[in-house]
């Protein structure tokens, strides 16, 4: 798998997902809409061809992009 590239906001969203937050909670934390959270996730998925949040989170942790 190629290295992930994340925008600052995508990293913030993915970190909160990794922390166990739901999309609705992430949206509240970051003062954005739930659909914006879902768009960030979809953008990561499309750009890196990763299916599923667990794989996305695992790849980001492996590469040191999130904790």
Residue range 7-63, pLDDT digits in tens = 999 999 999 999 999 999 999 999 999 999 999 999 999 999 999 999 999 999 999
Q: Are 44 and 56 in contact (CB under 8 A)?
A: yes
Distance CA 16, CA 54 (A): 13
Predicted local confidence at residue 1, as pLDDT: 58
């Amino acid at each position: 798998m190629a290295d992930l590239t994340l925008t600052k906001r995508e990293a913030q969203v993915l970190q909160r997902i990794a922390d166990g937050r739901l999309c609705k909670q992430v949206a509240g934390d970051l003062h954005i809409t739930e659909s914006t959270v879902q768009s960030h996730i979809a953008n990561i998925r499309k750009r890196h061809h990763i299916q599923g949040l667990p794989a996305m989170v695992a790849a980001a942790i492996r590469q040191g992009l999130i904790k």
